[in-house]
């Protein structure tokens, strides 16, 4: 039997499951494929395309240097180069690590290849899909907090025997400070593009179809070595003060104290346990503030694992959920950034430049606006998927359809995240220079967030009222 391994673009890890079934001494053929048809499914951000393709090319080169027989193909589709590669290498068994995303699983299932396809269980997450299903299947509620606590116990993270270090599981209340004065934020760790990346940038510039955003300056890391440097930079310079202002938004501050690790975790260049362990060790060795360390670990061990688990637990119809029956089309300004609402303008133009916005900008401005303005969940999810550098189907279905827009009716989140302009004014400086008045509900200068917020409550009163108490049961940030 002759074995070959196909490495997908978000599985760039030498310990990934399919590659680990073989030894480098076996001289196993390995293939990478850049598909032009695949990236035309939506108008992806140019920097996302550069990141993925450059990371793929760098990883292919690393494997080649270690003795693997690497083929790197650029083609319209996946099938044509796979068929030729299978024939030329006399492959009888193709091994592929199970993809993270349902649509790519369908691509593999539809392949017509002259060999057996062997799907290897995915090992890029701490919780296997089977383990998450076992945790979730008999529960009346699927709250992230319950899952997070179980994860802390399961992997013994920030634990003192069977109790959480510090006596509390969640220190989120300490991590919601509004921005005050000169924050003195540390710089981010960026990289200048090398020759491989410059070639990819040139390719993306020449694509004959529609893409989104600006391709330069491109400053993201594209190798595991660079990803580890960013992790170490975060631990040293950003983690100590990450907690208090992680929800704050400031004009001109694109990254604040945020880790910027999600693009590398989602590509496989970093692994969740090494990221979590690095933060925990820094807490133990340098007595870092527990609220900062716990808040960061919760994002990786809690939300990231939970979102992936939910994605593979719910049925495939989840993508079409629309609990509020919202059908308004996505405004053009989501793509252009041209709007007088300063908060939206600041964040959308930042996304155009970098492909990045932090979690509160995504949840409490972009998603919040989409929810209370009645935008189609599917159109909003498609934009998020196209626009963000760390976006994949498993990430965006749960984060946008479930958490951000509550379109699943509460499968994932316990309450909708709806807020008026008061929340944005409290947690940012955006309102200070906006043409709209965050205090006014009606009139020419009234902030649209206020009108949409109160209209949303009025239109959906029956759906968002707890019949037992006659009180709103959503996260009310007025």
103-123 pLDDT, tens digit per residue, is: 999 999 999 999 999 999 999
**pLDDT digits over 197-226, tens only?**
999 999 999 999 999 999 999 999 999 999
Give the mean pLDDT of the chain: 94
pTM of the predicted model, to two decimals? 0.95
Token duo for residue 168: 């509390």
* Residue 158 neighbours by CB distance under 10 Å: 21
3-state per-residue secondary structure call for 85-119 = HHHHCCCCEEEEECCCCHHHHHHHHCCCCCCEEEE
What the chain holds in terms of domains, given with CATH numbers, is 3-120 (3.40.50.620), 129-194+210-313 (1.25.40.80), 318-466 (1.10.579.10)
What per-residue confidence (pLDDT) applies to 466?
55
Does position 474 have pLDDT exceeding 60, yes or no? no
What per-residue confidence (pLDDT) applies to 278?
98
Cβ-defined contacts of 256-259 (< 8 Å, 24+): 256/183, 256/185, 256/358, 257/185, 257/186, 258/358, 258/359, 259/230, 259/231, 259/234, 259/296
What per-residue confidence (pLDDT) applies to 476?
43
**pLDDT digits over 361-387, tens only?**
999 999 999 999 999 999 999 999 999
- Strand pairing partners for 212? 45
What per-residue confidence (pLDDT) applies to 183?
87
**pLDDT digits over 75-95, tens only?**
999 999 999 999 999 999 999
In the chain, % of residues over pLDDT 90? 91
In the chain, % of residues over pLDDT 70? 97
Rounded average pLDDT over 343-347: 98
**pLDDT digits over 400-449, tens only?**
999 999 999 999 888 899 999 999 999 999 999 999 999 999 999 999 99
- pLDDT bin (cut points 50, 70, 90) of residue 27 is confident
């Amino acid at each position: 039997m002759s074995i070959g391994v196909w490495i997908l673009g978000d599985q760039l890890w030498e310990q990934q499951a399919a590659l680990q079934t073989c030894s480098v001494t076996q001289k196993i053929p390995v293939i990478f494929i850049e598909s032009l048809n695949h990236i035309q499914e939506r108008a992806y951000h140019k920097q996302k395309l550069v990141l993925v393709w450059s990371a793929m090319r760098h990883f292919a080169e690393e494997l080649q240097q270690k003795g693997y027989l690497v083929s790197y193909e650029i083609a319209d589709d996946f099938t044509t180069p796979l068929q030729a590669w299978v024939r030329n290498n006399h492959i009888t068994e193709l091994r592929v690590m199970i993809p993270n995303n349902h649509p790519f699983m369908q691509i593999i299932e539809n392949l017509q290849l002259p060999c057996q396809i062997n799907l290897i269980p995915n090992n890029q997450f701490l919780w296997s899909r089977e383990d998450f299903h076992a945790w979730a299947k008999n529960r009346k509620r699927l709250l992230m907090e319950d899952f997070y606590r179980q994860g802390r116990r399961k992997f013994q993270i920030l634990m003192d025997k069977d109790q959480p270090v510090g006596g509390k599981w969640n220190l989120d209340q300490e991590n919601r400070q509004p921005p005050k004065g000169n924050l003195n934020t540390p710089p981010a760790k960026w990289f200048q593009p090398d020759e491989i990346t410059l070639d990819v940038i040139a390719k993306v510039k020449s694509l004959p179809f529609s893409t989104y955003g600006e391709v330069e300056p491109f400053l993201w890391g594209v190798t595991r070595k660079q990803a580890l440097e960013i992790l170490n930079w975060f631990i040293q310079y950003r983690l100590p003060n990450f907690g208090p202002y992680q929800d704050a938004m400031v004009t001109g501050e694109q990254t604040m104290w945020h880790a910027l690790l999600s693009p590398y975790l989602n590509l496989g260049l970093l692994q969740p346990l090494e990221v979590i362990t690095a933060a925990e060790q820094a807490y133990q060795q340098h007595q870092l503030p527990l609220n900062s360390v716990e808040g960061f670990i919760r994002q990786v061990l809690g939300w990231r694992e939970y979102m992936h688990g939910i994605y593979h637990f719910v049925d495939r119809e989840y993508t079409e959920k629309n609990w509020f029956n919202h059908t308004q089309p996505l405004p053009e300004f989501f793509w252009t950034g041209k709007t007088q609402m300063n908060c939206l303008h600041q964040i959308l133009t930042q996304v155009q430049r970098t492909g990045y916005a932090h979690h509160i900008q995504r949840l409490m401005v972009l998603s919040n606006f989409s929810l209370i303005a009645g935008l189609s969940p599917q159109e909003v999810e498609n934009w998020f998927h196209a626009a963000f550098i760390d976006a994949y189907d498993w990430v965006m279905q749960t984060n946008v359809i479930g958490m951000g827009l509550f379109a699943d009716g509460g499968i994932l989140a316990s309450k909708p995240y709806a807020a008026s302009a008061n929340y944005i004014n409290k947690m940012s400086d955006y309102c200070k220079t906006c043409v709209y008045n965050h205090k006014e509900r009606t009139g020419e200068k009234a902030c649209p967030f206020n009108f949409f917020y109160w209209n949303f409550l009025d239109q959906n009163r029956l759906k968002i009222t707890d019949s037992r108490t006659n009180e709103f049961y959503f996260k009310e940030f007025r």
